[in-house]
Amino acid sequence: MNKQEKRDFVTSLTSDLAEANLVVVTRQKGMSVTETQALRRKMREANAHFKVAKNTLVRIAIKDTRHESLTPYLTGPMALAYSADPVAAAKIACDYANSNNKVEIICGVMGDQFLDTQAVQALAKLPSLDQLRGTLIGLLQAPATKVAGVVQAPASQLARLFSAYANKS
């Protein structure tokens, strides 16, 4: 890369990370091009990104941003997984790391919050934003009788309790 390409890369990465709600730092050792492409494909399907970059360029891109807490962890062969969805990048990176020992989760940042390896893995176990939206829509589309039944259930149970108590006396 010449100087202009490096400047363009840093500018592009800075703007991409500014829009990301989650950034995960991964260490990759011995990944083939095919494996990297497969991981990138999975990331793209979930509207996330996986970028291998020089540590010095990433340090420049995250300087004076909310992701600056990642700087000490940018050593060795690393890559960034990031997404606007606060779960997508973590979920795919952790799934891939569990099935492929060539990728290791180092840390992450969600918003302004630094996440260690365990926090990133716990975040990966949460349902994605789209899954939560689907669940909520499913609940909202449930028949009104189910909603009414759920609301009236405590009252009917209380009435049965009073009735049983009255019949007992």
Give percent of the chain above pLDDT 90.
40
Is 90 exceeded by the pLDDT of residue 107? yes
Model confidence band, residue 144 (pLDDT cutoffs 50, 70, 90): low
Buried b vs exposed e over 54-92: b needs ≥16 C-beta within 10 Å? Answer: eeebbeebbeeebbebbeebbeeebbbbbbebbbbbbbb
Per the model's pLDDT, the better-predicted residue between 16 and 146 turns out to be 16
**What's the pLDDT at 28?**
87
Question: For residue 161, what pLDDT is reported?
Answer: 59
Contacts of 161 (CB under 8 A, 6+ apart): none
User: Would the pTM of this model clear 0.75, i.e. be above it?
Assistant: no
3-126 fold: Alpha-Beta Plaits (3.30.70)
Closest CA to 1 of 50, 52, 69: 52
Mean pLDDT over each residue of the chain, to the nearest integer: 85
So where are the chain's domains?
3-126, 132-168
